[in-house]
Amino acid sequence: MTRLILHGELRQFSPAAAKVQEVRAEGRTVHDVLLSLGVPIGEAAAFVINGEQVEADAVLHEGDTLEVLPAISGGASQGALDGVRVLDLTRALSGPYCTLMLGDHGADVVKIELPGTGDETREWAPPYIGGVSAYYLSINRNKRSVTLDLKHPDGKRVLERLVERSDVVVENFSPGTFARLGFPDETLRRLNPRAIVCHISGFGQDGPGRAWAAYDLIVQGMGGIMSLTGPRGGQPAMVGVPEADMVAGMFAAYAIVNALFARERTGSGQVVDATMIGGQVALLSRQAARYFADGTVPGPEGNVHASIVPYQTFRASDGFVNVCCGNNALFERFVRAIDRDDLLEDPRYADNGKRVMNRESLIPELERRLAELTKDDVVKRLREANVPVGPINGLDEVFADPTVRHLGLVVEVDHPVAGRVRAPGIPVGMSDTPPSVRLAPPLLGQHTNEVLREAGFDDAEIATLKKDGAI
């Protein structure tokens, strides 16, 4: 028998929507097996046999495990935000990441872009995929694009009608810009008292930082994250992804959902002020607690923990691993797993407090031993001993990892120009209202006519708007 695992929406083709089933597949190709079960090949993004990605003509053998990943995660299922209309006036990263999250959970996101140019990330390249910016593709799925000139009187009229029909309005212009275009908060709330209006900025809509330019690197530095990142005694380092932008978008999406929930009680919308600097300060967590407790200003600690030993990165013979021993029992299992039982007899390492004091003698002993083992060997030994361990993976290893694949953290969607596009999947699952990838990142203005017709504009009006340059 062959163990078949259908991920995501492909479960609908399994009896009782089961994720795992046993099938007779020995000597047959992946394509033939799926065809016999009624699983459409075109809805599958990848086929994995025993942890290795294969083509559809690969032949299965007795005892194999076949995993099938969906081309579009979650299919057309209704997410938790199904029926929520989001008017997205954002560009670059923080705002689009916010609306990406809302769209993944079922919201109808209408992305407003400037005619002719659109979101500036359309030009943030290379790399390109089929001539389309990979950066833009990564954060704009599940959205419909409408081109609209907000400086044109008729463009303003169109936007007013869209505001009237929306549950959420999100913008990340420089503070005050949207108001100068004729859409201050009071106007938006007059047009639609139930709408949630969300502003995303670097440093807030008022106060001393409202006029400051905000880019991810700037805010990582100002918010303290960079002061904590990097090698001990070395130069501060930024995080390897634009987390200041992304965290701001996450907190904005979180606040919007809270506001929608509150609206169910009150019947009214409200204004949300989400900031990049706010997200950074919120992440300071235990380091802030340390500062507030005794006034210590922490600096970069590298990949070690100030209060736990060993809790750090080690170099194996062919790569790096992280090991975390948060208590004495874990330390004992750790040293036994790597054949260094002798360290248990040394009174300097009898408990965590002593290990912290004697870090300088203990860590070299561990480093020498782990350097003799491969990365896979270290991980295997420590996992078998139930010691927290993990490899430091490059992205090629991340996206080949069986756990990442099992959780549906890689999705594919067909783009009309770029072809089949892969992207990180949706990081949460929900039993009754699963999130999904339903739409490819849109072409500039791809849905203008469609959205305007839904808003009540007839074809003649749309033609006039286009002729006059409003759309």
pLDDT score of 81 more than 90: yes
Q: Tell me what pLDDT residue 375 has.
A: 96
In sequence order, which residues have a C-beta less than 8 Å from that of residue 446 and are 6 or more positions away? 144, 145
Q: Tell me what pLDDT residue 20 has.
A: 83
Of the residues 10, 42, 70, which one is the last residue of a structural domain?
70
Within this chain, do residues 147 and 253 fall inside the same structural domain, yes or no? yes
Within this chain, do residues 63 and 95 fall inside the same structural domain, yes or no? no
> Is residue 413 one of the residues assigned to a domain?
no
pTM confidence score: 0.83
The token pair that represents 413 in the structure block: 């969607």
Q: In what order do the strands lie in the sheet with 319-324?
A: 311-316, 319-324, 389-391
Domain that includes residue 385, residue range: 311-392
pLDDT score of 45 more than 70: no
C-alpha dist (Å) from residue 394 to 35, 52, 237, 319, 407 = 35, 17, 19, 10, 18
> Is residue 372 one of the residues assigned to a domain?
yes
> Is residue 414 one of the residues assigned to a domain?
no
C-alpha dist (Å) from residue 230 to 235, 324, 385, 394 = 7, 19, 31, 18
Whole-angstrom distance, CA of residue 72 vs CA of residue 397: 22
pLDDT score of 272 more than 90: yes
Within this chain, do residues 262 and 348 fall inside the same structural domain, yes or no? no
Within this chain, do residues 95 and 50 fall inside the same structural domain, yes or no? no
pLDDT score of 72 more than 50: no
Residue 423: which H helix or E strand, with range? strand 419-424
> Is residue 398 one of the residues assigned to a domain?
no
The token pair that represents 331 in the structure block: 């330390």
Whole-angstrom distance, CA of residue 378 vs CA of residue 367: 12
Residues 345-363: tens digit of each pLDDT = 999 999 999 999 999 999 9
> Is residue 427 one of the residues assigned to a domain?
no
Dihedral of alpha carbons 259, 260, 266, 272, sign: positive
Please choose, from the candidates 148, 126, 133, the residue with its C-alpha nearest in 3D space to the C-alpha of residue 415.
133
Within this chain, do residues 254 and 339 fall inside the same structural domain, yes or no? no
Whole-angstrom distance, CA of residue 178 vs CA of residue 303: 43
pLDDT bin (cut points 50, 70, 90) of residue 413 is confident
Within this chain, do residues 119 and 247 fall inside the same structural domain, yes or no? yes
Please choose, from the candidates 175, 167, 171, 176, the residue with its C-alpha nearest in 3D space to the C-alpha of residue 148.
171
**Distance, CA of 149 to chain centre:** 30
Within this chain, do residues 105 and 251 fall inside the same structural domain, yes or no? yes
Whole-angstrom distance, CA of residue 114 vs CA of residue 131: 20
Whole-angstrom distance, CA of residue 227 vs CA of residue 208: 22
Residue 38: exposure state from Cβ atoms within 10 A (0-12, 13-18, ≥19): exposed
Q: Tell me what pLDDT residue 73 has.
A: 43
Within this chain, do residues 51 and 109 fall inside the same structural domain, yes or no? no
Q: Which is the catalytic residue, given 82, 245, 396, 401? A: 245
> Is residue 106 one of the residues assigned to a domain?
yes
How does 297-335 read in b/e, with b if 16+ C-beta sit within 10 Å?
Answer: eeebbeeeeeebbbbbebebeebebebbbeeeebbbbbb
CATH number of the domain that residue 60 is part of:
3.10.20.30
Q: Residues 66-83: what's their mean pLDDT?
A: 72
* Percent of the chain surpassing pLDDT 70: 96
Within this chain, do residues 109 and 184 fall inside the same structural domain, yes or no? yes
CATH number of the domain that residue 379 is part of:
3.30.1540.10
pLDDT bin (cut points 50, 70, 90) of residue 8 is low
φ, ψ of residue 60 to 5 degrees: the values are: -90, 155
Q: Tell me what pLDDT residue 428 has.
A: 93
Neighbours of 155 (CB within 10 A): 22
In whole angstroms, how large is the CA radius of gyration of the chain? 26
Of the residues 70, 96, 112, which one is the last residue of a structural domain?
70
CATH number of the domain that residue 274 is part of:
3.40.50.10540
pLDDT bin (cut points 50, 70, 90) of residue 38 is confident
Residues 133-167: tens digit of each pLDDT = 999 999 999 999 999 999 999 999 999 999 999 99
Within this chain, do residues 95 and 224 fall inside the same structural domain, yes or no? yes
> Is residue 112 one of the residues assigned to a domain?
yes
Residue 377 is among the residues annotated as catalytic for this protein? no
Whole-angstrom distance, CA of residue 349 vs CA of residue 60: 51
Whole-angstrom distance, CA of residue 332 vs CA of residue 351: 10
3-state DSSP assignment of residue 297: coil
Answer for the pair 220, 238: CB distance below 8 angstroms, yes or no: yes
How many domains are contained in the chain?
A: 3
Within this chain, do residues 236 and 198 fall inside the same structural domain, yes or no? yes
> Is residue 406 one of the residues assigned to a domain?
no
Within this chain, do residues 239 and 376 fall inside the same structural domain, yes or no? no
Whole-angstrom distance, CA of residue 166 vs CA of residue 163: 5
* Percent of the chain surpassing pLDDT 90: 79
DSSP letters for 44-98: EEEEEETTEEE-TTPBP-TT-EEEEEESSTTTT---TTTT-EEEEE--TTHHHHH
Specify the higher pLDDT residue, 23 or 85: 85
Residues 52-71: tens digit of each pLDDT = 778 888 899 999 999 887 65
Amino acid identity, position 229: T
Q: Tell me what pLDDT residue 76 has.
A: 52
Of the residues 41, 70, 99, which one is the last residue of a structural domain?
70
